[in-house]
Chains A and B, each alone.
Chain A
Amino acid sequence: VVQPGVVNLDLTRAAEKYGLYFAPDPSSQKSCTIGGNVSENSGGPHTLANGVTASHVTGLELVLPEGQVVHLGGKFVETPGYDLVGLVVGSEGTFALVIEITVKLMRLPEEVRTLLAVFETVEDATESVVEITARGMTPAACEMLDGWTLRTVEEFVHAGFPLDCAAVLLLEVEGVREAVEAQAAAIAEVCGLHRAREVRRARDAAERDLLWKGRKNAFGAVGRLSPSYYVLDGVIPRTKLTPTLRRIGEIGKQYDFRIGNIFHAGDGNLHPLILFDQRDRAQFERAVAAAGEIIRFCVEMGGALTGEHGVGMEKNELMPLMFTDADLDLMREVRAAFNPSGRLNPDKIFPLGKGCGETRLNPLPVAGGATDPA
């Protein structure tokens, strides 16, 4: 049972001495809090096997906007009654103030194997992801970095990433030792079949940490190159990875932006990074337009507006891409059941009727500011 201001990584550190940990691990876990994870239903690289925050929260204590304290759930899940805990997790702070959270911890795995597969083309990398799934394997994490992003990261963290490839997959398998060995071998085989130039294995914890440092500090590395960047968060069915990445490349050319790709390939959760200069108003508007086009394409592929970062004020005008007025009205009414006056986080999630592509300056992440949220 924790308070909302506890930092994600601190919870895991506190649990480690009992051989346990808190599974959701956003890349910002050094600074993000459990309360924030609950609001956004945060993910992270390891949600592929372990699920998002909602799967690890069993109880909440809330303060409703009128001041009333309410307890939802408890120490176990799926008890009689409506699943209000499941509803409140991911509600972006629009329902109530969460003041206490009961979380489920997991046992630390006895074996973790981290692999880095290096590819000459983006297609080979994405096709490997599809085949790993098709063979019935669920790695604990399956991250992809494209060649440009990788070179940028390497200059920053010096993890020994190859500088001349088109893409890498950072894969992790964990669990019972025998299973980990078998799966790591099978994954290496799949990557080999898809023309991976090499599949490196982290030999020890230090090497593993170095590889992850590259992944988790990627946004910071990119921030060194560009005055501003725009981190997108879209989801597609993973079988659509190849055409989607191709389309993102085209959109980048069309709008004349460098777009880096670093993302959770295993669950199709993309994070294209658009590099631009926010001081240039025309560039800013082009970046927003390019972002809108990418997210629209994700939805067209059968995906979603956001996989883990939430809707907020950035994508509220895009909500009609996925939901009808009736869908949104019902969601508004549910919000009113908790928060009738709309005083909590007003203007978030729902379209304000200003039309798609309406631009705002304040919510955009600026280089050198916040850490990588995913």
Chain B
Amino acid sequence: MSQHAASVTSRLADLVGVENLAGDPAGLSRYAVDGLTPSAALRPGSTAEIAEILRFAAAGGLALIPTGRGSKLGIGIPPRKYDLALDVSRMNRVLAYDPGDLTLGVEPGAPYAEVARQLAAGRQFLPLAPAFAARATIGGIVAAGADSPLRHGYGGIRDYLRGMEFVTGAGVISKSGGRVVKNVTGYDLHKLLVGSLGTLAVITRINFRTFPIPPEKRVFSAAFGEAANAWGLCERLAKSQLQPKMVEVLSPSTRHIFAACGGRPCWCVVITAAGEHAAVKRHAREIEGMAREERAIGFDSLDEAPGNALLAAIREFPRVSLEAFPGAVIFRIAALPSTMPALAEQIGSIGERHECETAILARAAGVIYAALLARGAGAEQRLAACRELMSASLAAGARPMIEWCPLDVKRALSVWPPPGDEQALAQRIKKVFDPQGVLAPGRFLGGI
């Protein structure tokens, strides 16, 4: 170890305590991002420590990536530089939970599963439903802008996020928003941090509004021989007075992923209804009627256990796909519901042309997850399919990104769509939050 490196290490140990500093290769491998391993990992225990670390990094020209339990470190393009991992998993407390006010404040390293358990004790929940739910931390979910199948009924993170405390790349502790459910005091800087992949600030506290758990919930699954009928059911639902909490369309090739669905390969629409007993009953009746009119070849109203298993499989679609097909490329495409049927068909034919099997999970609220499962296809074919899928989505007016893919794909093409004319503003914002370029440089859209 050079003298300089040794002095850096001793300074870092001073900042967080030697027991919270990892410098050995075995301990560091789990912090690797796109093949880059940091030279040290720090596990701070307070906001003040994080501010010290960031000031130290800014002064020394070091690059740093914040992380919780690492479930989403694979998102984004390879960072330009990566010296330190900032592991916030020790900051894992629920700081405030007031069921009567529907408000919750947590530290970023709080595990999603643990927070969900505490909320359930107050008969409440957060509609996050992230992939990697067993490992995910609240900070990671928010920083990655993870999508939720419950978006249909409850909106996205930005809709129930209420405020944050965070530390900028310059090491300044700051905050915006508040705790109450309604608030327009000051700029909503916290919204910028949703989906920012740690490129603007390190989140140290997140405030949400929570939701009451509905008295009753039911999961329905309708199977169709043709894609057009599955989309037809979505359209009928959208035009109806029903208010399902979730509407997901699954392509036939997701079947080997969703063992819970069972049966023959077909298109499947999974819907949840929740609320008062009489309202759920009406949803059951009318949804089944609509499915029959679309010539469904099967319709199930699932009991709690199988229903929850199916919902978990939908939530975990990226993880299960990656585990079954380690080389899978998973696109996340924001699209208007009206363009989704044609886009889904195109995705299928792009896959066929390049001998990649494709699995589609479409959120009727406006997101398509498309997994190129890389079965049989060579690396070249897979890349060609990715390029074509990216441009076809853009041509359809959608906003695609590759959320998960192997490193060789990242090296060959950008996982982000081309930036729009807001890019200059985004760069200025980055400069305001992180003037020295300490935080995850190069990982974000447009190379920010």
A349 near B422 with CB under 8 A, answer no
Contacts of A133 in B (CB 8 A): 100-102, 212
- The reply to whether the CB of B262 lies closer than 8 angstroms to some CB of chain A is no
A176 near B176 with CB under 8 A, answer no
Q: Mark A168-209, 1 if CB is under 8 A from B, else 0.
A: 000000011111011100000000000000000000000000
Query: Which single residue of chain B is at the shortest CB-CB distance from A81?
Result: B445
- The reply to whether the CB of B302 lies closer than 8 angstroms to some CB of chain A is no
Q: Mark A247-288, 1 if CB is under 8 A from B, else 0.
A: 000000000000000001001110000000000000000000
Query: Which single residue of chain A is at the shortest CB-CB distance from B76?
Result: A80
- The reply to whether the CB of B59 lies closer than 8 angstroms to some CB of chain A is no
A136 near B191 with CB under 8 A, answer no
Query: Which single residue of chain B is at the shortest CB-CB distance from A40?
Result: B184
Question: What's the Cα separation between A239 and B194 when bound, in Å?
Answer: 29
Question: What's the Cα separation between A274 and B176 when bound, in Å?
Answer: 29
A178 near B278 with CB under 8 A, answer yes
Question: What's the Cα separation between A329 and B170 when bound, in Å?
Answer: 13
Contact of B422 among A81, A181, A236, A309 (CB under 8 A): A81
- The reply to whether the CB of A71 lies closer than 8 angstroms to some CB of chain B is yes
A334 near B158 with CB under 8 A, answer no
B432 near A267 with CB under 8 A, answer no
| Residue among A179, A238, A269 facing the most chain B CB atoms (10 A cut-off) | A179
- Count residues of A near B (Cβ-Cβ below 8 Å): 83
Query: Which single residue of chain B is at the shortest CB-CB distance from A52?
Result: B182
Q: Mark A301-329, 1 if CB is under 8 A from B, else 0.
A: 01111111111000100010011101111
Contacts of A70 in B (CB 8 A): 421-422, 424-425
Contacts of A69 in B (CB 8 A): 421
- The reply to whether the CB of A337 lies closer than 8 angstroms to some CB of chain B is yes
Size bracket, chain B contacts: 35 or more
- The reply to whether the CB of B232 lies closer than 8 angstroms to some CB of chain A is no
B243 near A175 with CB under 8 A, answer yes
- The reply to whether the CB of B178 lies closer than 8 angstroms to some CB of chain A is yes
Q: Mark A66-79, 1 if CB is under 8 A from B, else 0.
A: 00011110111111
- The reply to whether the CB of A109 lies closer than 8 angstroms to some CB of chain B is yes
Q: Mark B32-66, 1 if CB is under 8 A from A, else 0.
A: 00000000000000000000000000000000000
Minimum C-beta distance from B187 to chain A (A): 5
A323 near B278 with CB under 8 A, answer no
- The reply to whether the CB of B229 lies closer than 8 angstroms to some CB of chain A is no
Query: Which single residue of chain B is at the shortest CB-CB distance from A84?
Result: B422
Contacts of A107 in B (CB 8 A): 241
B241 near A109 with CB under 8 A, answer yes
A311 near B101 with CB under 8 A, answer no
Knowing A54-B158, A90-B187, the reply to whether A81 touches B419 (Cβ < 8 A) is yes
Question: What's the Cα separation between A279 and B342 when bound, in Å?
Answer: 67
Minimum C-beta distance from B215 to chain A (A): 7
- The reply to whether the CB of B290 lies closer than 8 angstroms to some CB of chain A is no
Knowing A78-B145, A80-B445, A326-B173, the reply to whether A268 touches B187 (Cβ < 8 A) is no
Q: Mark A34-59, 1 if CB is under 8 A from B, else 0.
A: 00000011010001000110110000
Minimum C-beta distance from B243 to chain A (A): 6
A335 near B187 with CB under 8 A, answer yes
Contacts of B184 in A (CB 8 A): 40-41, 52, 90, 304, 306-311
B278 near A72 with CB under 8 A, answer no
Question: What's the Cα separation between A308 and B181 when bound, in Å?
Answer: 11
Contacts of B282 in A (CB 8 A): 176-178
Query: Which single residue of chain A is at the shortest CB-CB distance from B212?
Result: A136
B188 near A87 with CB under 8 A, answer yes
Query: Which single residue of chain B is at the shortest CB-CB distance from A335?
Result: B187
B157 near A78 with CB under 8 A, answer yes
Question: What's the Cα separation between A308 and B432 when bound, in Å?
Answer: 27
Question: What's the Cα separation between A247 and B282 when bound, in Å?
Answer: 46
Contacts of A89 in B (CB 8 A): 188
A183 near B276 with CB under 8 A, answer yes
- The reply to whether the CB of A91 lies closer than 8 angstroms to some CB of chain B is yes
- The reply to whether the CB of B399 lies closer than 8 angstroms to some CB of chain A is yes
Knowing A76-B335, A327-B174, A330-B168, the reply to whether A235 touches B180 (Cβ < 8 A) is yes
Contacts of B157 in A (CB 8 A): 78
Contacts of A182 in B (CB 8 A): 276-279
- The reply to whether the CB of A130 lies closer than 8 angstroms to some CB of chain B is yes
Within B259-307, the residues touching A (CB, 8 Å) are 275-279, 281-283
Contact of B195 among A78, A304, A329, A335 (CB under 8 A): A78
Question: What's the Cα separation between A327 and B100 when bound, in Å?
Answer: 29
Contacts of B147 in A (CB 8 A): 78
A81 near B426 with CB under 8 A, answer yes
B155 near A322 with CB under 8 A, answer no
Within B74-88, the residues touching A (CB, 8 Å) are none
Minimum C-beta distance from B131 to chain A (A): 15
Contacts of A130 in B (CB 8 A): 100
> Contacts A83-B191, A311-B184, A337-B425 given; 20 further ones with Cβ under 8 A?
A41-B188, A54-B191, A70-B422, A75-B397, A76-B334, A77-B334, A79-B334, A80-B417, A82-B195, A84-B429, A86-B192, A91-B187, A175-B243, A179-B278, A237-B101, A237-B103, A303-B180, A323-B186, A327-B174, A349-B186
Binding site for B on A (CB under 8 A): 40-41, 43, 47, 51-52, 54-55, 69-72, 74-84, 86-87, 89-91, 107, 109-110, 130, 133-138, 175-179, 181-183, 235-239, 264, 267-269, 302-311, 315, 319, 322-324, 326-331, 333-338, 349
13 interchain pairs, CB-CB under 8 A = A55-B158, A71-B422, A76-B334, A84-B425, A87-B187, A176-B282, A178-B281, A267-B180, A268-B180, A324-B174, A328-B186, A330-B189, A334-B187
Shortest beta-carbon contacts, A-B, top 7: A136-B212, A86-B191, A178-B278, A179-B279, A182-B276, A337-B428, A237-B101
